[in-house]
Amino acid sequence: MQDETVIVVGAGIVGISTALELQSRGLRVRVLDRVGVAAEASQRNAGAFAFSDIIPLATPGIMRRAPKWLLDPMGPLSVPPSYALKITPWMLQFWRASWRDRFQASVTAQTQLMERSRAALDRQIAAVDGEAIMQREGQLQLYEGEAEYRASLDTWELRRRHGIRFSLLDSPAAIADIQPGLHPRFTHAAFTPDWMNTTDPKVWVEHLAQQFCSRGGVIERANVSVISQHAGRAAVTTAEGFALADKVVVAAGAWSHHLARTLGDRIPLETERGYNTTLPSGAFDLRTHLTFGGHGFVVTKIAGGVRVGGAVELGGLKLAPNYKRAEILLQKAARFMPVLNTEGGEQWMGFRPSMPDSLPVIGRSPSAESVIYAFGHGHLGLTQSAGTAELVADLITGGETAISTAAYSPDRF
């Protein structure tokens, strides 16, 4: 391999977006990925740009509710028993992130990144002629009964204070005006009109990658095992050899902390294992993104079909998939959407890189000035990819970042 101005490790949505943004600023960029473009979490996620999703998973009081969830192997938040001891240090940091002071700081930082990412996505779509791959149909957050709805009002007030537009619905009839075919058990909802989705997350990443390559960028399959620094430059080691670059960007999703450790950086990244089932075209007349928050899953329109998925299983990278979780979600969706045709579905499980405070890692390695980290977005990688790309490009080109990156610092823990 020859020397490159920048090597980006990771060909998911964050890595490809970053490579494209760096390229647009005149840098020579090579992308390396062990399995190829959009082959992991970027391949079959929910396809949502969830800019209103500013509330971290670690909310005040969550640890009082967590034991009930964690003991339910099919619940919205679970830890397989064989992984419980290994994840204990992360859970302690998760608990600390739920304290009110940290929670408020996380909401502010998340909101700033969301606002930046929304504007950056608009620029990205225009730059690659990508509007045809977008769906601007809003989102319904659904509630079963008055009690569940009222318990959510504080979070909606928090969103309102941060400038997020929404309307609150208090009857099944009002809900049906936006999305017919839902069970009347859902008596209340909130509709966020500015929510948007891509028609297919894999197609979107592939489109960005094609644009990158057509403009002179290079994408190669290579398994990066070690990152190091030599005389102010960065280096990556793969089975094919050793490559030097002025800068290296680590955007390898759930595998990123292993690469960071080869530099001596210990970052508390864990793996959310997300499950879904994609149903073929005609399964349901879906008119907006549906979020069943009380059950931890969403229903989205993908390539004319319907994708049912979500929940959080904190189980690392090595345990075998438990597709019973996907089956449970699909069964619930069938109860909540009585005319849903559940035949012909394809199951999938992907790894989402998750930090205890729900904020990504964006910044220089504490151990190597020439290495930039861009990972840990949890289920918001697609949402925050364009904004992250601009921040990384600002750091590499020496410009002032549009927002402070202190809250996303690799050494904040």
- What does the pLDDT look like over 323-368, one tens digit per residue? 999 999 999 999 999 999 999 999 999 999 999 999 999 999 999 9
> Is residue 343 domain-resident?
no
Which residue is listed with tokens 């601009």? 390
- Which residues in 16-31 are b (16+ Cβ under 10 Å) and which e? bbbbbbbbbeebbbbb
Instruction: Write out the residue range of the structural domain in which residue 8 sits.
Output: 1-54+98-133+198-268+356-413
* Cβ atoms < 10 Å from Cβ of 152: 18
- Per the DSSP assignment, residues forming a β-bridge with 196 are 49
> Is residue 108 domain-resident?
yes
> Is residue 263 domain-resident?
yes
Work out the average pLDDT over 34-55: 94
CA distance 149 to 156: 10
> Is residue 109 domain-resident?
yes
pLDDT bin (cut points 50, 70, 90) of residue 60 is confident
**In this predicted structure, what is the pLDDT of residue 67?**
65
- Per the DSSP assignment, residues forming a β-bridge with 220 are 32
Q: Give residues with Cβ within 8 angstroms of 210, minimum separation 6.
A: none
Task: Please give the angle made by the CA atoms of 162, 167 and 169, to the nearest 5 degrees.
Answer: 140
pLDDT bin (cut points 50, 70, 90) of residue 65 is low
> Is residue 91 domain-resident?
no
Please state whether the predicted TM-score (pTM) of the whole model is above 0.75: yes
- What does the pLDDT look like over 152-201, one tens digit per residue? 999 999 999 999 999 999 999 999 999 999 999 999 999 999 999 999 99
pLDDT bin (cut points 50, 70, 90) of residue 398 is confident
* CATH code, 48: 3.50.50.60
- What does the pLDDT look like over 133-157, one tens digit per residue? 999 999 999 999 999 999 999 999 9
Work out the average pLDDT over 237-245: 91
What six digits make up the tokens of 192?
């966020």
Distances (CA, A) of 346 to 135, 278, 306, 313, 411: 22, 5, 11, 19, 40
Stronger pLDDT, 21 or 313, i.e. the higher one? 21
> Is residue 143 domain-resident?
no
Structural domains counted in the chain: 1
- What does the pLDDT look like over 246-259, one tens digit per residue? 999 999 999 999 99
Question: Going along 303-378, which residue ranges are E strands?
Answer: 305-314, 346-354, 361-365, 368-375
CA distance 391 to 405: 8
Report residue 216: phi and psi, to 5°: 105, 0
| Whether 124 contacts 383, CB under 8 Å | no
Find the helix or strand (DSSP H, E) in which 9 lies: strand 4-9
CA distance 406 to 124: 24
- 1 pLDDT more than 60: no
> Is residue 409 domain-resident?
yes
> Is residue 393 domain-resident?
yes
Which residue is listed with tokens 């149909």? 137
**In this predicted structure, what is the pLDDT of residue 246?**
95
Work out the average pLDDT over 292-298: 92
| Whether 288 contacts 179, CB under 8 Å | yes
Q: What is the CA radius of gyration of the chain?
A: 21
